[in-house]
Structure 1
Amino acid sequence: MTKPDAEIVHFDNVGLRYGADKEVLTDISFTLYPGCFYFLTGASGAGKSSLLRLLYLAQRPSRGLIRMFGTDAITLPRERLPGFRRRIGVVFQDFRLVPHLSAFDNVALPLRVAGVSEREIARPVADMLDWVGLGDRQHARPATLSGGEQQRVAIARAVIARPDMLVADEPTGNVDPDMAMKLMRLFESLNRLGTTVVVATHDVHLIGKVEGSLLMRLDKGRLADPTGALRYPPRRDASTELAAP
């Protein structure tokens, strides 16, 4: 792997606090590159979910710079936010499927919101459900699906619009180890197609299963080893750490 020409995300001295409380993220600086696979780890309360919220533009930082897709994401006009968010797929730990919609309609939702015509939706959605192994469950509602099946529907929904970046928050937290590995293989397949993948997880065993992945480790709201450097090409193991450039 050679160093990509363009960054996809850049954080520079970012801090985040909620209200008047102390910062939950402090002096966060890193760069994500197209087509790379990143793990975000850290103890409970380290700030993983807060960092992910910044990545998928659900939260603005209290200070610092965030640049995404070559644009200042902090000063981005509100009318441009939907277009930016469509470039980012999100997989939530609690799935967040719409309970009264079928698997098909849950996956189709981002395309419908984007204004894609119904005649252009059927084939891509069916193909995506086949890709996650749920081609025979298109008409099932979330309550009738297992935890692993619901998570796969959530993944299909997150990637149906072919995002530039996929962000997943503890995507294997509610499934058994075998299903966790199947989900990781789906993420790997997507990554091989060129999507930048960021997976937050507390499961250190998963990290070693993805060849060439890079590691970001949070410790009490700070990136561990802040004097470290991101090396390209990354070492072909999962112990490579991503810290401040």
Structure 2
Amino acid sequence: MTAIVEFDSVGLRYGTGAEVLRDLDFRLARGGFYFLTGPSGAGKTSLLKLLYLAQRPTRGRIRLFDEELSEAPRDALPAFRRRIGVVFQDFRLIRHLSAFDNVALPLRFAGKSEAEVEGPVREMLAWVGLADRASARPPTLSGGEQQRVAIARAVIAQPELLVADEPTGNVDAEMAARLLHLFDALNRLGTTVVVATHDMSLIAATRGAQLLRLEGGHLGDPTGNLRHPPSAVGLA
């Protein structure tokens, strides 16, 4: 199975401080489903930032979509980011746009016509339980509703790679299960999914997913932690 992500001796520090991530050597298989776990402060969000190209590594090599990106020019990165869906922990919705227009953004950026946007966005909002909130703007939505809009926006364009940071932290168990089913359906269509979470019940409910554990900025050998055979993860 080919890799969609490859990290080779990657380290990350902010400013002149100590490394928050160190010696990361792993690959993620195209079409895989991964959960990233670890204690608070382990560096999970920093690792996700490297995955969705919001941060450059301090050292080491990152390949994404078969391209070397560690030293790629900044003006080349937006084209790669359009192939990635991101669910941010702080949502990052555009406050003056309606829920509908926030979800529609990736399709509009991809050049879809309004006729091509309308149906998929309405369907996605219905799936996340927000059909009747399509015209609402983020400041009028609860935290859980904003989370669902953010998830709908991240998956609407069926990205090649989906990166989600605690995507079910603001919703109840029933909605968490529904959203997890959405991620699973997207994965079955070929999207590689990486979900950072503390929710072990979420992990236990996902067959075929693999577990990556980050501790102290270092990714441990997953073979003792995986619920399924480590066929889709390779650690150097």
Task: List aligned pairs for 1:36-47, cutoff 5 A.
Answer: 36-47=32-43
**Residue 205 and residue 45 in structure 1: after superposition, are their counterparts in 2 closer, same or farther (change >3 A)?**
same
Instruction: Give the letter for the 1:202 counterpart.
Output: H
Task: Decide which of 192, 196, 199 is 2:192's aligned counterpart.
Answer: 196
**1:60 — aligned with what?**
56
**Aligned alpha-carbon RMSD (Å):** 2.4
Q: Deviations over 1:110-143 (max 9, x none)?
A: 2333443334322232232233333332212223
| Structure 1: stretches of 5+ with no match in the other structure | none
**Residue 180 and residue 120 in structure 1: after superposition, are their counterparts in 2 closer, same or farther (change >3 A)?**
closer
Q: Secondary structure at the match of 1:121?
A: helix
Q: Give, in angstroms, the shift of residue 202 of structure 1.
A: 1.3
Please give the alpha-carbon distance, in whole angstroms, between the structure 2 residues aligned to 1:208 and 1:133. 24
Q: Secondary structure at the match of 1:65?
A: strand
Q: Give, in angstroms, the shift of residue 219 of structure 1.
A: 0.6
Task: Decide which of 105, 108, 118 is 1:109's aligned counterpart.
Answer: 105
Please give the alpha-carbon distance, in whole angstroms, between the structure 1 residues aligned to 2:112 and 2:55. 27
**2:169 — aligned with what?**
173
Please give the alpha-carbon distance, in whole angstroms, between the structure 1 residues aligned to 2:160 and 2:65. 9
| Structure 2: stretches of 5+ with no match in the other structure | none
Task: Decide which of 225, 228, 231 is 1:235's aligned counterpart.
Answer: 228
**1:219 — aligned with what?**
215
Query: TM (normalized to structure 1)?
Result: 0.88
Query: TM (normalized to structure 2)?
Result: 0.91
Task: Decide which of 43, 48, 63 is 2:44's aligned counterpart.
Answer: 48
**Which one is further off, 189-198 or 141-150?**
141-150
**1:151 — aligned with what?**
147
**1:217, 1:241 within 8 Å by CA — same for their partners in 2?**
no
Please give the alpha-carbon distance, in whole angstroms, between the structure 2 residues aligned to 1:7 and 1:243. 9
**Which one is further off, 137-146 or 8-17?**
137-146
**Which one is further off, 69-78 or 37-46?**
69-78
**Residue 147 and residue 123 in structure 1: after superposition, are their counterparts in 2 closer, same or farther (change >3 A)?**
same
Please give the alpha-carbon distance, in whole angstroms, between the structure 2 residues aligned to 1:174 and 1:94. 11
Please give the alpha-carbon distance, in whole angstroms, between the structure 2 residues aligned to 1:113 and 1:241. 32
**2:179 — aligned with what?**
183
Q: Secondary structure at the match of 1:75?
A: coil
**Residue 169 and residue 110 in structure 1: after superposition, are their counterparts in 2 closer, same or farther (change >3 A)?**
same
Q: Give, in angstroms, the shift of residue 243 of structure 1.
A: 6.4
Q: Give, in angstroms, the shift of residue 101 of structure 1.
A: 1.2
**2:158, 2:186 within 8 Å by CA — same for their partners in 1?**
no
Please give the alpha-carbon distance, in whole angstroms, between the structure 2 residues aligned to 1:189 and 1:115. 24
Q: Secondary structure at the match of 2:22?
A: strand
**2:114 — aligned with what?**
118
**2:24, 2:219 within 8 Å by CA — same for their partners in 1?**
yes
Please give the alpha-carbon distance, in whole angstroms, between the structure 1 residues aligned to 2:188 and 2:148. 18
**1:216, 1:243 within 8 Å by CA — same for their partners in 2?**
no
2:57 matched to 1:70?
no
